[in-house]
Structure 1
Amino acid sequence: MTMRAAVGLWVLSAVICVGRGHHHPDHLGHGNDKASQDTVEDGSANSVSLVNEANQEFSFRLYRQLAAHADSQGKNIFFSPASVSTALAALSVGAQGETHRQLFSGLGFNSSLLTQTDVDQAFQRFLQRANNTSQEDASEGTSVFVDNGFKPKPEFLQTLKHSYLADGFSVDFSQAAETADTINKYVEEKTNGKIDKLVENLDPSTVMYLISYIYYKGKWESPFDPELTKQDDFNVDENTKVSVDMMNMEKRFHTYHDHDLNTTVLQLPLNSSYSMLLMLPDVMATLENAISPNHVTKWLKAMTRPRKHDVYVPKFSIKTSYNLNDVLSEMGMTDMFGDRANLRGISEEQGLKVSDVVHKATLDMDETGAEAAAATGISIMPMSGFWGPVPVLKFNRPFMVLITERNTEKILFLGKIINPTI
């Protein structure tokens, strides 16, 4: 049996501040040059809309898969759909045949309406739009770490550079500990220290890592007064209460009560065009089993007239970590993990497969704003009760959270807070 090379494909997403500078390995080239920043004029607006809609649908399908998994029971859920979809879209550049079909289908891309080029151009627009907001606390991009003895197809690297704005680095994966440290420092810089150890065990036969990051740190348009933050109970379930720091503010808020889902929705605007939506359901399962992009659209459109509320929201910091292999397989993306993987768009030299897809995320909420980070890793290895509008709105029991760009309704982060203290 011939020894096959390994590729690691990692995706990183973060909502955070600008990181510190680090020494980088040798550069293969930058994606942030003028050519890759030029607006894609020939990209169809319809294709961009189709990809955006697919990404939104994917967000909630992935959420439901995570929520259903035994590993998630009794735990907070928090992840970046934008990170995972960017990762898998970048991976699809190098996928062919049935592997490519499964990736497109799993991501919700209609292959009869969308080509790989359409998808690549759409993600280029998304990334350019995110980076053209000219605010320090938001950026998105990708990077690829390639073993100095591995030669990917030039067109694969060129597409990553042009469409996914990828920076390129040449490393020596046989020096596993040193290279892992290099990658981790890069990720730590992009997430301002929030994700400090994305790579924990690096296989020395790895030949490539792809990292996609989304960075954002938002400040509330109306910050909470720290003097009003008090200890209060949070009801994890009928039998469990935990003590939390409960922030409080009385002002006019945009809220909506969804009678179909028996859920009250609070919009907390962040700086620029981002918002956090907090969803307090009567029955969590009713909300999480039914929530869709159409609900988000409906809520945002209905929030036209702010009403005065006395709002209580817990202050917290949480971290999550997932291996998404089983989750993505259950969503139909199976072949990339086994000997049937067809990643010949990356290289014809050897058979490659995905060994792990790992996602890590953090969310910090305090009186000033929200800070979040997430990282998704795809390692390619060798084949072998009723709530009406009320004056007091208190998030003192499990609720869902969503960070969205209001104009495009792009979902940066999505989750469920069961216990703010874990």
Structure 2
Amino acid sequence: MKISFIKPCNYPKTAASICLLSAVIFCFSCISGEDNSPSGKVEANLRELSLDENRLSESNTRFATNLFQQLASNGDSKNIFFSPYSVHQALAMAMNGNDGEVLEEFIQVLQMEGMNLEEANQAVKDLTSFLLDVDPKVKLSIANGIWYKEDYQVRIPFKDAARQYFNAEIAPFNVYDPNSVDIINHWIEKQTNNLIKDMLDFIPEDAVMYLVNAIYFKGDWTYNFPKENTRKEKFTLRNGQEIMTDMMNLGEPAGFKAYGTADYTYLEIPYSSEQYSMGVLVNESGNLSQLYPHFTLENLDEWRSNSRDVNLILKMPKFKIEYRIDNLADDLQAMGLVRPFIFHQDNFTQLFSNPTNYLKISRVIHQALIEVDEKGTEAAAATIVEVVEKTSLPPNSTPTIFTLDRPFIFFIQEKHSGAILFMGKLENPLES
């Protein structure tokens, strides 16, 4: 093994694992003769991505980081978990009901500049197909559904685009029938393997359409954590308070990808054939607000491209996060998607062929769940875009032990495309 020191690390002992990882991973190259490959490894179904697929993956990642920054901007110490891919797909479906300046707002917020509507739709279809097929050992499903008000006539081009590019199920609903809520909720529950339940609380009488995306992921770690190694250990919160939580322990060194500076550490924890991984970003202080400015597409590309192969004994907490956003409207407006949330004659002009009053998006509901244990990760999310009509109603060489024992940002990503499916931050593993 060849080891070359670049810069010593002077962090305090309380951050020994992060400091040591920075010293071992980021300041040296580690070469191990030990075979850490999992048994029965399956080869990934890789292919060359088209120019538009690469552009869409970059768009998705930019949107993901922008939305994360927006959601985390209030600076609280609560856990966050969501699927930027799900939100992106639901809004991309809604985008097809617009043209002109409103369409441009969707394109800009979804980071699709330089692509026309057909190119963007085709890239969505192709990238989704790639993500579903790339790893045979990872369970991934991405589904879209559209429900529209009975007696309204959805424009044929919109229907065709929804079916052709988003593989969407399209059906009418009775806005006055209480069972309509159950129809949508049962569809979401089925598509998310029963993880997301009772998501839609009610259907207002002015609702004319629901555009829904659901995504489900289940992947086993490339290197499972033995259950017998899990022990109660300390986890330090942002405010310095120490709590005891179930800490998983790999027990033996395994191969990871990592990158680091004096300010933060980036680690990839692989699933299955290593096409999918959980990316982790952590710093010594545990104050994640110090990491937000570093979390950009450009930096993420740098971390992925220049990460080192290292051997680590990884320790990380078991955790479960259930997260719901009742309405993303304010966040999306802050990001630049403004007019679709205001009744305006230019909104959704390509949605219905029958005359309607002014339309707008009233709610973008998002709900997500993740559970991380010794075997792997199970995650699901759904996004509901509610469109309403204007009425009178209100609307290392020596094995290094690296312990994730302080708050961290995490995200589930696919290596070849760079697409981010889920994203969050763990502030307290005892809070779901």
Does 2:144 match 1:142? yes
Contact 2:370 2:379 in 1 (8 A): yes
Change (3 A) 1:218 1:259: same
Q: Is the 8 A contact 2:248 2:374 kept in 1?
A: yes
AA aligned to 2:301 is: T
**In the alignment, what sits opposite 1:381?**
388
1:67 matched residue in structure 2: 72
Q: Which amino acid aligns with 2:363?
A: D
User: Match of 2:291, as an amino acid?
Assistant: L
Distance 1:105 1:99 in 2: 10
Q: 1:105 aligns with which of 104, 108, 112?
A: 108
Aligned counterpart, 2:194:
193
Backbone CA RMSD of aligned residues: 2.0
Three-state SS of the structure 2 residue aligned to 1:78 is: strand
Structure 1 gaps of 5+ residues are 1-43
Q: Sequence identity, in percent?
A: 27
Q: What is the TM-score with the length of structure 1 in the denominator?
A: 0.83
Q: Distance in 2 between matches of 1:264 and 1:239?
A: 19
Paired residue secondary structure (1:181): helix
Q: How does 1:90-169 map to 2 (within 5 A)?
A: 90-110=93-113, 113-133=114-134, 137-169=139-171
Answering whether residue 426 of structure 2 is matched by residue 417 of structure 1, we say yes
Structure 2 residue 55 is the aligned partner of structure 1 residue 85: no
Asked if 2 retains the 8 angstrom alpha-carbon contact of 1:276 and 1:402, the reply is yes
Cα deviation 1:161-218 (Å, max 9, x = unaligned): 001111222322220x201011111101111111101101211332221212222101
Paired residue type of 2:335: M
TM-superposed CA distance for 1:409, in Å, is 0.9
CA distance in structure 2 between the partners assigned to 1:298 and 1:149 by the alignment = 52
- Report what 1:46 is aligned to: 51
Larger Cα Rg: Structure 1 or Structure 2?
2
Cα 1:299–1:148 change in 2 (3 A) is same
Question: 2 CA distance for matches of 1:124 and 1:239?
Answer: 46
Name the structure with the higher strand share.
1
In 2, Cα distance between the equivalents of 1:131 and 1:316? 26
Give 1:114 shift: 1.1
- 1:253-280 per-position Cα deviation (integer Å, ceiling 9, x unaligned): 32424216x2222221112421111222
Partner SS state of residue 414, structure 1 = strand
**Other-structure match for 1:287:** 291
How many Å separate the matches in 1 of 2:399 and 2:366? Answer: 38
Amino acid at match of 1:88: L
Deviations 1:55-96 (A, max 9, x none): 1111101100000136xx121111111111111111110012
Q: 1:147 and 1:339 mapped to 2: Cα distance?
A: 18
Q: Is the 8 A contact 2:105 2:337 kept in 1?
A: yes
Aligned partner of 1:259: which letter? T
Q: How does 1:9-408 map to 2 (within 5 A)?
A: 45-69=50-74, 73-110=76-113, 113-133=114-134, 137-175=139-177, 177-249=178-250, 250-259=252-261, 262-272=263-273, 273-283=275-285, 284-307=288-311, 309-322=312-325, 323-340=327-344, 342-348=347-353, 349-350=355-356, 351-383=358-390, 391-408=400-417
Q: Could you tell which deviates more after superposition, 156-165 or 345-354? A: 345-354
Quote the residue 2:14 is aligned against: none
How far did residue 391 of structure 1 move?
1.7
Preserved contact between residue 276 and residue 415 of structure 2 (Cα < 8 Å):
yes
- 1:225, distance to aligned residue in structure 2 (A): 0.4
Residues 291-311 of structure 1: CA deviation (Å, up to 9, x unaligned): 12233333233345232x232
Counterpart of 1:278 in 2: which secondary structure? strand
State the aligned residue count. Answer: 368
The one-letter amino acid of 1:332's match is G
Q: Which amino acid aligns with 1:342?
A: N
Of the structure 1 ranges 216-225 and 247-256, higher mean CA displacement relative to structure 2 is found in: 247-256
| Per-residue deviation, residues 123-149 of structure 1 (Å, max 9, x unmatched) | 010122233345571122311122332
Q: Does the Cα contact within 8 Å between 1:127 and 1:165 map onto a contact in 2?
A: no
